[in-house]
Amino acid sequence: MKKITILAIIIAIFSVTQIYAQQMERLKPVISETLILQVVEDLKKNADVDQHDRIEKGVQQVASFWQPVDGDEQVFAELCRQYSVKNTSERKAVFDRLETNLELLFGSFNKMNVGLKIPLHVDEGEILAIDRIFGGYSPGAHVSDDFFANKLAFITILNFPFYSLSEKTTMGEKWTRLEWAYVRLGDVFKSRVPANLLQNYSQIVTDADGYISDYNIYMGKLIDKKGKSVFPEDMKLISHWGLRDEIKANYASKSGFAKQAIIYEVMQHIVRQDIPKNVINNPNLEWNPFTNVVYEAGKPIETEKEPNTRFKYLLSLFNATQAIDAYSPHFPDYIKRKFEDEMEIPVEDVEKIFIELVSSPELKEIGKIIEKRLGRKLQPWDIWYDGFKTRSTLDISKLDKILKEKYPDKTAFEQDLPNILIKLGFNADSAVSIASKIIVDPSRGAGHAWGAAMKSDKARLRTRIGADGMDYKGYNIAIHEFGHNVEQTITLQNVDYYMMNGVPNTSFTEALAFVFQARDLELLGMEQENEMSKHLAALDNLWSNYEIMGVSLVDINVWRWLYSNPTATAEELKDAVNKIAVETWNLYFAPVFGIKDSPILAIYSHMIDYPLYLSAYPIGQLIEFQFGNHIKDKDFADEIYRAFTQGRVIPQLWMKGAVGTEISPTPSIEAAAEAIKVLK
């Protein structure tokens, strides 16, 4: 047996080495520098002067992506000479055709992707075994391969080359809207990832998302130290969102502390992966999280812990992304792709913003205020303290009753979308137009928004809707996701060029989602706006950012660890994640909480199914705070249209256009400092 194992390992290592060698062979430069210079010189002779810089950049980039399968040097030269535009009118004509066709392609792929995932994402029946295969299939995975094969990718790169983040930052303020659209077209083919790697990544993401979306705890089966259950028998909560929101919901409850303490124990078991695997999604067994003992019919039974499943999925995602690295020369690792490419803010800049905020002395003062309001010392789960919001003083059970009557099913909520927009300040025509492009679905997971990618399609709003209607948790999530849908619709339908559709990064759509979510009670006629509520909102903003920035710092450092330890096992990854979470806690949270060694910052589910997405939330909250303050005395709808029709320029340029300043933690910190003075 030992010999077979060693032989298998040798074969596996040899196979990986062979694949890597083949990949490296494919990525070797095949076009000589001499020919590149000659082609550039030839093209310049036949083109207007204003095309010369573009020609140099385009030819160099085409050469960098050229592979032996694309043809010899003569084929390369002929392609450049035949398809390089000669003047601005030719370039605009090619742009128009590419933009039209890419909307058709990307929009259709997106629509198919949404449709194939409906059985996984929408709570409308049993998930069949084949649904996960369909859901993992990416209809657009082959488009890059196809476009390099038929040379359309090369033609695009030649005439609309890629600009680095540094170049966009330096030159972007002087570019016209059309020039920005050209630059965004140059972002389409900035890597050449084989379709099999993209398909593999898509399947792994789908599998990880399925694991997370199906990770529920039956709360009525949890028992405390005395063997009693303190939760409703039929309560089932998803990790981590449902568990976190239940902590938030219990700050106004007399039994809140006991419930929060149980949930905190559950979270620690999930993070440490010593949770009994048979209590996950199981309504038939009782579990005492304090002793980690499982009971069946009142008797303790032997159980196995979850076998590091959480970290196996994360490791699979790392391996899938690492395989893509070699094919992304502009962004050679996942961290760079997430920050410099997707977010368009360097990770170092993001960390600087986060560390400035989580180190601010105002947090200790807020901690003292929370302790006074709670009448007890802070506990680790108080990172989710929700008492600064108006809703924290409301009876959630009464809110649930009101909402279930108002929204008994998805249709009732969908039909009310125009009214919600009118209450927020949109005129009737805009409200009806936006709402007509959004479909509401009951979600299997916590909820999400999925935008359309062509003007003829519709966005999707998903939230949890029970058989007896939508409760407050579902409503609160729905208003957040509706904010995403409004952004998705405006930035697709109202932005001047399709290549400019969307926002600079996901933080900006999160910002508008937070703006909407903060008005959820206002929409129900329950929000009391006054000077004190403004100060409480400032404290809530800083405290909320404190929590999610801590989580995001863990996420970033986990991925740094993965790149430093690429052969790690799931067990080693689990230990590393817990270690990083504890170290981050001890550095930035223990001084405020007076408690060391909590691993709670590692509980977030997005670390597992959408890694490095978490940073979008706190950046989004900073944007929301700055944008919210800027539009406070202005027309709500007009300001949203004005800001979001800027489309996809780089983040700091978007912020300057929207509010006049760049993204910064300073406004949030200063507002909290002022609030602390008032409360004292």
Joined together, the tokens standing for residue 262 give 């149980």
Helix (H, G, I), strand (E, B) or coil at 650: coil
Joined together, the tokens standing for residue 186 give 């140059």
The pLDDT, as a whole number, for residue 29 is 76
pLDDT category, 397, cuts 50, 70, 90?
confident
> Exposed, middle or buried, 299 (CB in 10 Å: 0-12/13-18/19+)?
exposed
Domain ranges of the chain: 2-191, 211-307, 311-389+528-679, 416-523
Q: pLDDT tens, 173-193?
A: 999 999 999 999 999 999 998
* pTM of the predicted protein model: 0.81
Joined together, the tokens standing for residue 198 give 């993209």
DSSP character string of 192-239? ---HHHHHHHHHHHHHHHHHHHT-EEEGGGB--TTS---S-TT-EEET
State the angle between helix axes of 506-517 and 636-644 in degrees (0 to 180), rounded to the nearest 10.
Answer: 170
The pLDDT, as a whole number, for residue 20 is 41
How long is the chain?
680
Which has the closest alpha carbon to 223: 292, 274, 273?
292
Asked whether residue 271 carries a pLDDT value surpassing 60, the answer given is yes
Are 251 and 392 within 8 A, CB to CB? Answer: yes
Q: pLDDT tens, 462-514?
A: 999 999 999 999 999 999 999 999 999 999 999 999 999 999 998 899 889 98
Asked whether residue 142 carries a pLDDT value surpassing 90, the answer given is no
Asked whether residue 533 carries a pLDDT value surpassing 90, the answer given is no
**Which has more confidence, 2 or 346?**
346
Pairing of strands 459-463, 438-442: parallel
Q: pLDDT tens, 421-456?
A: 999 999 999 999 999 999 999 998 878 999 999 999
Q: What is the largest CA-CA distance in the chain?
A: 87
The pLDDT, as a whole number, for residue 391 is 64
State the angle between helix axes of 195-213 and 129-136 in degrees (0 to 180), rounded to the nearest 10.
Answer: 130
Q: E strand or H helix at 462, and its extent?
A: strand 459-463
Task: Please state, in angstroms and rounded to a whole number, the distance separating the CA atoms of residues 423 and 430.
Answer: 12
Q: pLDDT tens, 12-35?
A: 334 434 444 444 445 567 999 999
Which has the closest alpha carbon to 475: 394, 551, 573?
394
Q: pLDDT tens, 95-112?
A: 999 999 999 999 999 999
Which has the closest alpha carbon to 204: 314, 324, 117?
314
The pLDDT, as a whole number, for residue 514 is 87
Asked whether residue 243 carries a pLDDT value surpassing 80, the answer given is yes
Task: Please state, in angstroms and rounded to a whole number, the distance separating the CA atoms of residues 482 and 479.
Answer: 5
* Least reliable range by pLDDT among 23-27, 56-60, 342-346, 451-455: 23-27
pLDDT over 70 percentage in the chain: 95
- Which parts of 449-530 fold into alpha helices (H)? 472-493, 506-517, 520-523
Mean pLDDT over each residue of the chain, to the nearest integer = 92
> Exposed, middle or buried, 536 (CB in 10 Å: 0-12/13-18/19+)?
buried
DSSP character string of 579-600? HHHHHHHHHHTHHHHS-----G
